[in-house]
Structure 1
């Protein structure tokens, strides 16, 4: 979606702050200078600064201008903040915080999903799983279907706060999933783990669903730690998501223990 001048200005300034071009505790240039640099009016700059303040990146005050706040007070549940971080480059601290968050939130949510999922919920998660499987076997967009799978689980928990959280977690989860796709056979190796979670939800077995999703999350953590340990440059969030190449044979051929519909 093409953003208007306001949205574009928020993106430019937000990304500059997250990238460190405006340092913590430093003062952002005044509105007239920013407006000239970015080719927008002072009003657009002023509204953009207000948006950044609402996201916790800056604080403004009379006669002191706009000052960049420390990272630990930024709103890390804001999708824009996550997207800016992913664009400028992921950090080990960011990725480890993400994995800790997943380990706290998802197991409890999946247990609730196993207890409360409707037939429509299960159909949606099954459809997402089929999309993941097809992307592995035939090539295509795996990440989008992986996101659908996890969002479906959170929605199936039938908890309004978790449903809202799923929107905020979108960019967070995508960073993890894109890293997993950089690992050799990463998606194919995780597919049976997704199937185990889904089967437990279908069986309405909350304890098994919780154990299965923990195994899945810990597998993602291992992928991330392997990437961090390799000392390769961490990937940036791509847009659109990367597409897998088709593999010889089916996912079930590669992983005989997995079960498809």
Structure 2
């Protein structure tokens, strides 16, 4: 549970990302924010410091606190990603993440095939079995799918990749929800996930990379189809829809 600072930061961060404060425009003065949020000036100032650190605002004498353009925001900050996800994923944001995933995940999976520990493989296997049970018995497929891919990225044992994986979580969750909503999507993708895991167990980087690319390309097609038909994207501030028993 977040404290007053965390809740204030979330409120202001979401407001900025959602466009409720205009780009390059000054934010409301401290007294107004204190009254609106029911917090002290100290809390507002600490929240603003955090927003400055995340690249969302700048401060200065006589100009106050101003919202910076999105190009200046720290898109690898998990809070910024979360705020964007809550306010709605735009097609541009999703496509940026699609490009990032296609660059990063195959390379990470190659490393995972070389570096994964028995514990890593055990956790990825457990996530895979959770996906399988959700298909056969009904349940939360998306959460286990997300654990599977997070397990792959963790198994490469590279701290930079692990940090970047936090930025990918919004894309992965969106992608999995879209694919899950397609008839037969989870059942079709299960053997593709198995192929990735088997290649890692076999310590075969090339095969693991090819297998993950098949998964990524299929997921990208699902997302592009949704974007082209202008269907609503999933809202990530709600629980994923569970599968019904087969």
* Contact persistence 1:112–1:157 (CA under 8 A): yes
Quick one: distance in 1 between partners of 2:171 and 2:180? Answer: 15
What is residue 82 of structure 1 aligned with on the other side?
Answer: 81
Which piece of structure 1 moves more, 233-242 or 193-202?
A: 233-242
**What is the Cα-based RMSD across aligned positions, in Å?**
1.5
What is residue 191 of structure 1 aligned with on the other side?
Answer: 190
Shift of 1:36: 0.4
**Per-residue Cα deviation, 1:136-181 (whole angstroms, up to 9, x for no partner):** 2212112221121112111221223223333443334223323333
- Pairwise mapping of residues 40-119 of structure 1 onto structure 2 (< 5 A)? 40-119=39-118
* Contact persistence 1:79–1:169 (CA under 8 A): no
Given the alignment of the two structures, is residue 149 of structure 1 paired with residue 123 of structure 2, yes or no?
no
Q: How many residues align?
A: 246
Quick one: distance in 1 between partners of 2:186 and 2:11? Answer: 33
3-state DSSP of counterpart to 2:136:
helix
Quick one: distance in 1 between partners of 2:79 and 2:185? Answer: 27
* Contact persistence 1:27–1:68 (CA under 8 A): yes
Quick one: distance in 1 between partners of 2:52 and 2:244? Answer: 42
What is residue 181 of structure 1 aligned with on the other side?
Answer: 180
3-state DSSP of counterpart to 1:60:
strand
3-state DSSP of counterpart to 2:240:
coil
**Per-residue Cα deviation, 1:38-66 (whole angstroms, up to 9, x for no partner):** 11111111111111111111111112111
**Per-residue Cα deviation, 1:77-125 (whole angstroms, up to 9, x for no partner):** 1111111111111111111111100011110110111112222221111
What is residue 234 of structure 2 aligned with on the other side?
Answer: 235
Quick one: distance in 1 between partners of 2:15 and 2:68? Answer: 13
Quick one: distance in 2 between partners of 1:213 and 1:234? Answer: 24
Quick one: distance in 1 between partners of 2:228 and 2:167? Answer: 28
**Per-residue Cα deviation, 1:194-224 (whole angstroms, up to 9, x for no partner):** 1111111111111010011011111110110
Quick one: distance in 1 between partners of 2:147 and 2:42? Answer: 38
Quick one: distance in 1 between partners of 2:154 and 2:128? Answer: 15
Closer/same/farther in 2, CA of residues 235 and 168 from structure 1, 3 Å limit: closer
Quick one: distance in 1 between partners of 2:85 and 2:32? Answer: 27
Quick one: distance in 2 between partners of 1:231 and 1:166? Answer: 27
What is residue 11 of structure 2 aligned with on the other side?
Answer: 12
Shift of 1:127: 0.6
TM-score, structure 2 as length reference: 0.94
TM-score, structure 1 as length reference: 0.89
